[in-house]
């Protein structure tokens, strides 16, 4: 009788464990069918999804082509441009320096990059001249996108035009249009020229998405005495065995690199992006995918740039970024390797903005906030988002995304290679399908 009872108890524990960390096969198939349809309809070239709960893989799916022209299949080793998903990696690097007493959130950026001592701000009433800002930019301002720095493609105002004129672009954006070239200097040379441009607004007064993390890359170099790329390798990528992540595609991964796609009249920096010599009128309503950065001709294949852009520059695999996400979920530690303290993860992943004054940061949606390089779900009900309060996340320009849900012990990563990132609701779809599935 005791043996029978023991078997019943063991069976119950096993079934409970499976239920707690599994998606029903029907719910898995819903996710598969839904995202495969995006690929089959020719909207995106491929999709890769990896979801873990309690550090155990509960869903993995990859479907589509890494390159359409060569008919190369995407697989678990495919390498993606992660663009702004580089930002949380930079955030972790800064948090490491913070917790080791190397810098402080309220330090002035000019302490590390003297050129920012003289940075001016655009006069908000008469935008034809600049004035001295009310105060200097701090490390916290950079981490929270409240510095007044911007992106050249983020508007058509005088500051954006200055960025374009002086090529204040830290990112690679395709190899087909030479007018969209990356700034040719080093990380800190880029930071210095960025300091010469006026700010959109006074530091700390508004939220404006911009080149903040690229400036922080220079701060890391100054404080650590090594290149930003070497710092990330030594302190994050190598310890976590993120072997396919870096500012250029590793030689062993070149066969796994993707092509980048768009459709329609997609523009960047005011220019429609397409093949040289193309009739742009023909592109405007085109639904077919076209490559804007081929896997075999991309600048990411060459380890030539010394501008290690912490806001947009990394390439990675889905397994690598899942490892990074797990480290955050585990309060800074994974597989016996500690990258951050639990206190640093908590500080990084909590809201640092007044919600009433951060509409730009929350895209006009109540219930969202912004931490140190990551978005924060403050109130899932107000935000109208599936997930748990306290979840944090970010995405990339090529429609990639990740999130960490400490309450449900979930990490989720979605990869594809399609611009613009807001054309299809891939991120919202995955949240809805995942959370409705695990709640069943």
The verdict on residue 122 lying in a domain is yes
Range of the domain at 262: 23-84+238-438
Q: What is the pLDDT of residue 276?
A: 64
Whether residues 52 and 104 fall in one domain = no
Can you spell out the DSSP letters for 275-321?
-TT--HHHHTT--S-EEEE-TTT-GGG--------TTT--EEEHHHH
Whether residues 139 and 172 fall in one domain = yes
Whether residues 310 and 414 fall in one domain = yes
Whether residues 121 and 164 fall in one domain = yes
The verdict on residue 37 lying in a domain is yes
The verdict on residue 348 lying in a domain is yes
Distances in whole angstroms, Cα of residue 377 to Cα of each of 365, 371, 388: 11, 10, 7
The verdict on residue 16 lying in a domain is no
| 317, two tokens | 């695999």
The C-alpha atoms of residue 223 and residue 61 are separated, in whole angstroms, by 41
Q: Which of 53, 51, 52, 15 is nearest to 31 (CA)?
A: 51
The C-alpha atoms of residue 13 and residue 188 are separated, in whole angstroms, by 55
What's the whole-model pTM score?
Answer: 0.92
| Backbone φ and ψ of 414, nearest 5° | -125, 130
pLDDT in tens, the chain (440 residues): 444 444 444 443 433 333 344 789 999 999 999 999 999 999 999 999 999 999 999 999 999 999 999 999 999 999 999 999 999 999 999 999 999 999 999 999 999 999 999 999 998 677 678 999 999 999 999 999 999 999 999 988 999 999 999 999 999 875 555 456 789 999 999 999 999 999 999 999 999 999 999 999 999 999 999 999 999 999 999 999 999 999 999 999 999 999 999 998 888 776 777 776 677 777 777 889 999 999 999 999 999 999 999 999 999 999 999 999 999 999 999 999 999 999 999 999 999 998 454 454 555 678 899 999 999 999 999 888 999 999 999 999 999 999 999 999 999 999 999 999 999 999 999 999 999 998 77
Q: For the chain, what percentages of helix, strand and coil (3-state, to nearest 5) are there?
A: 35, 15, 45
The verdict on residue 249 lying in a domain is yes
The verdict on residue 258 lying in a domain is yes
The C-alpha atoms of residue 80 and residue 78 are separated, in whole angstroms, by 7
Whether residues 165 and 68 fall in one domain = no
The verdict on residue 397 lying in a domain is yes
Whether residues 59 and 143 fall in one domain = no
| Residues, the chain | 440
Q: What is the pLDDT of residue 20?
A: 44
The C-alpha atoms of residue 238 and residue 77 are separated, in whole angstroms, by 18
- Residues 6 or more apart whose CB falls under 8 angstroms from that of 297 comprise 175
The verdict on residue 7 lying in a domain is no
| Dihedral sign from CA coordinates of 341, 392, 44, 33 | positive
432 close to 386: Cβ distance less than 8 angstroms? yes
Whether residues 205 and 243 fall in one domain = no
Give the CATH number, domain containing residue 288: 3.40.710.10
Question: Which of 198, 227, 256 marks a domain boundary?
Answer: 227
Whether residues 163 and 299 fall in one domain = no
Distances in whole angstroms, Cα of residue 10 to Cα of each of 21, 114, 394: 17, 64, 40
SS3 152: coil
The C-alpha atoms of residue 383 and residue 401 are separated, in whole angstroms, by 18
Whether residues 212 and 254 fall in one domain = no
Q: CA 107: distance to chain centroid?
A: 25
- Residues 6 or more apart whose CB falls under 8 angstroms from that of 125 comprise none
Q: Which of 387, 388, 394 is nearest to 371 (CA)?
A: 394
Whether residues 192 and 246 fall in one domain = no
Q: Which of 349, 375, 371 is nearest to 362 (CA)?
A: 375
Q: Which of 363, 365, 367 is nearest to 376 (CA)?
A: 367
Give alpha helix (H) positions in 63-138. Answer: 87-99
The C-alpha atoms of residue 63 and residue 61 are separated, in whole angstroms, by 7
Q: Which of 404, 394, 408 is nearest to 340 (CA)?
A: 404
The C-alpha atoms of residue 81 and residue 245 are separated, in whole angstroms, by 10
Biggest distance spanned by C-alpha atoms of the chain: 88
Whether residues 267 and 414 fall in one domain = yes
Number of domains in the chain: 2
Whether residues 51 and 139 fall in one domain = no
Distances in whole angstroms, Cα of residue 217 to Cα of each of 69, 99, 213, 232, 339: 36, 17, 6, 10, 18
Question: Which of 206, 227, 248 marks a domain boundary?
Answer: 227
Question: Which of 176, 201, 227 marks a domain boundary?
Answer: 227
Q: What are the strands, taking DSSP E only, across 116-176?
A: 121-122, 130-131
Torsional class of 148: left (φ above 0), alpha (ψ -120 to 50), beta (otherwise) = left
């Amino acid at each position: 009788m005791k043996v029978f009872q023991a078997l019943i108890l063991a069976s119950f524990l096993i079934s409970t464990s499976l239920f707690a960390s599994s998606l029903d096969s029907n719910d898995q198939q819903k996710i598969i069918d839904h995202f495969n349809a995006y690929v089959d309809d020719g909207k995106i070239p491929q999709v890769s999804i990896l979801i873990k709960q309690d550090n155990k893989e509960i869903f993995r799916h990859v479907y589509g082509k890494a390159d359409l022209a060569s008919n190369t299949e995407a697989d678990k080793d495919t390498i993606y441009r992660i663009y702004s998903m580089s930002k949380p990696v930079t955030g972790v690097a800064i948090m490491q320096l913070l917790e080791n007493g190397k810098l402080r959130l309220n330090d002035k950026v000019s302490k590390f990059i003297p050129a920012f001592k003289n940075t001016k701000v655009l006069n908000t009433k008469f935008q034809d001249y600049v004035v001295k800002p009310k105060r200097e930019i701090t490390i916290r301002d950079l981490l929270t996108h409240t510095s007044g720095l911007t992106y050249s493609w983020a508007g058509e105002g005088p500051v954006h035009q200055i960025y374009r004129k002086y090529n204040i672009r830290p990112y690679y954006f395709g190899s087909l249009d030479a007018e969209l070239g990356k700034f040719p200097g080093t990380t800190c040379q880029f930071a210095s020229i960025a300091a010469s441009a006026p700010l959109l607004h006074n530091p700390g007064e508004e939220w404006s998405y911009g080149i903040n993390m690229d400036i922080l890359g220079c701060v890391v170099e100054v404080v650590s005495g090594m290149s930003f790329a070497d710092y990330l390798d030594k302190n994050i990528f190598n310890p976590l065995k993120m072997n396919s992540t870096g500012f250029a595609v590793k030689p062993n991964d070149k066969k796994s690199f993707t092509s980048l796609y768009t459709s329609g009249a997609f523009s960047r920096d005011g220019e429609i992006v397409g093949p040289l010599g193309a009739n742009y009128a023909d592109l405007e309503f085109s639904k077919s995918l076209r490559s804007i950065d081929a896997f075999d001709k991309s600048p990411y294949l060459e380890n030539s740039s010394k501008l290690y852009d912490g806001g947009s520059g990394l390439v990675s695999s889905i397994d690598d970024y899942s490892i990074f996400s797990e480290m955050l979920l585990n309060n800074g530690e994974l597989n016996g390797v500690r990258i951050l303290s639990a206190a640093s993860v908590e500080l990084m992943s909590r809201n640092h903005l007044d919600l009433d004054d951060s509409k730009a940061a929350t895209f006009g949606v109540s219930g969202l906030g912004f931490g140190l390089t990551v978005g924060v779900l403050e109130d899932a009900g107000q935000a109208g988002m599936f997930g748990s309060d306290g979840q944090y996340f970010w995405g990339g320009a090529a429609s990639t995304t990740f999130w960490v849900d400490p309450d449900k012990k979930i990490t989720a990563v979605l990869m594809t290679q399609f611009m613009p990132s807001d054309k299809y609701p891939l991120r919202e779809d995955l949240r809805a399908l995942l959370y409705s599935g695990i709640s069943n």
